[in-house]
Amino acid sequence: MNIITSLQPYWSAIVSRFRSRFPELYEKIPALVELTRVDRPIGIYLLLWPTIGALWVAAEGVPSLSLLFIFLLGTAVMRSAGCCVNDFADYKIDGQVSRTQQRPLARGVLRRQDAFYCFGILSSIGFILVLFTNRETILLSFGAVSLVAIYPFMKRYTNLPQLVLGVAFSWGILMAFTAQTGGIPQPAYLLFVGNLLWTVAYDTQYAMVDREFDIEIGVKSTAILFGDMDKAIIALLQMMFIVSMWLAGRQLEMGIAYYASLLIACGLLGYQQYLIRNRLPGPCFTAFLNNNWVGAVVFIGIFLSYI
């Protein structure tokens, strides 16, 4: 009998007790999984690769297991918190867009109150994790939560919500450096700017999927702002991302593996340009998903450079 089989009766008993004591919450679990996008981890990956890469750079090799655990779990928790506040803000809008009309709040299986509470709980977990780091990182964490909270509302006021997302998705880079070293050296800012540019590029691809719906309902995005120049501006942002990462590599004296990873990333970004050439929603979404591999490849380059 293996360990999983031996533990099954205990797990079943725990589930049964939880179901009997909290029947309403138990029935909401599938919807809460949808709300937090645990079943769609692409957002976790896009946030994780640059953050863990920065932690590796700051440690000049393998970081401590405690910091690695804090940032791995913190990244996942805060991404899910962001999904909660996003659906809280967009519960009416989501019902008018075909891609999002089946989200839990849009179809009425969860209330806005549920999303608000979920955001609060997940943010609290993230903050508790940060308390095990240092003063500088704790102070930066307030900025991280603020960015996560305000981003979903930006699409109502500016055509540059992707810029706010870029700052939010790059904030973990600064926190990784302060957690490891207590400060933010110059290369960290280059990594921050590079990741910000990359985020704006891939989230514009994501916004291209819903552009026609967004125009109808009055939601703003860089995909709408860029118009017919969208592909060219995405390409420019991607090139600036690679240049920023190359400059950071020069300052950090990275090895050949790192520059090879940037070359492979260039190939992947070129493939994305091919996918979005006709601005069709399906291929644009595929291009967006492909950025997971861009992040993974660059991280592998960082990892190999410190072996």
Which whole number is the average pLDDT over 245-249? 98
Which whole number is the average pLDDT over 252-280? 97
Q: Is the pLDDT of residue 95 over 90?
A: no
Tally of domains in the chain = 1
| Residue range of the domain that includes 66 | 19-305
Which whole number is the average pLDDT over 103-122? 93
Query: What is the rounded average pLDDT for all residues in the chain?
Result: 93
Q: Is the pLDDT of residue 14 over 90?
A: no
Question: 114: pLDDT confidence band, cut at 50, 70 and 90?
Answer: very high
What pLDDT sits at residue 93? 87
What pLDDT sits at residue 10? 63
- Whether 159 is in a domain gets the answer yes
Q: What is the CATH number of the domain that holds 90?
A: 1.10.357.140
- Whether 286 is in a domain gets the answer yes
Q: How far apart are CA 161 and CA 152, in angstroms?
A: 8
- Whether 202 is in a domain gets the answer yes
Q: Is the pLDDT of residue 264 over 70?
A: yes
More confident residue, 20 or 142: 142
Q: Is the pLDDT of residue 16 over 80?
A: no
Q: Is the pLDDT of residue 2 over 70?
A: no
Q: Is the pLDDT of residue 36 over 70?
A: yes
pLDDT digits (tens, 9 = 90+) for 265-278: 999 999 999 999 99
- Whether 10 is in a domain gets the answer no
- Whether 106 is in a domain gets the answer yes
Question: 1: pLDDT confidence band, cut at 50, 70 and 90?
Answer: very low
Which whole number is the average pLDDT over 12-38? 81
Q: How far apart are CA 301 and CA 207, in angstroms?
A: 29
- Whether 107 is in a domain gets the answer yes
Question: 3: pLDDT confidence band, cut at 50, 70 and 90?
Answer: low
- Whether 13 is in a domain gets the answer no
- Whether 4 is in a domain gets the answer no
Work out the percent of the chain whose per-residue pLDDT is above 90: 81
DSSP 75-134: HHHHHHHHHHHHHHHSHHHHTTSTTTTTSTTTTTSS-HHHHHHHHHHHHHHHHHHHTTS-
Q: Is the pLDDT of residue 22 over 60?
A: yes
Task: Answer for the pair 35, 84: CB distance below 8 angstroms, yes or no.
Answer: yes
Q: Is the pLDDT of residue 18 over 70?
A: no
pTM higher than the cut 0.85? yes
168 Cβ contact partners less than 8 Å away, ≥ 6 residues apart: 82, 144, 147, 148, 151
pLDDT digits (tens, 9 = 90+) for 151-194: 999 998 999 999 999 999 999 999 999 999 999 999 999 999 99
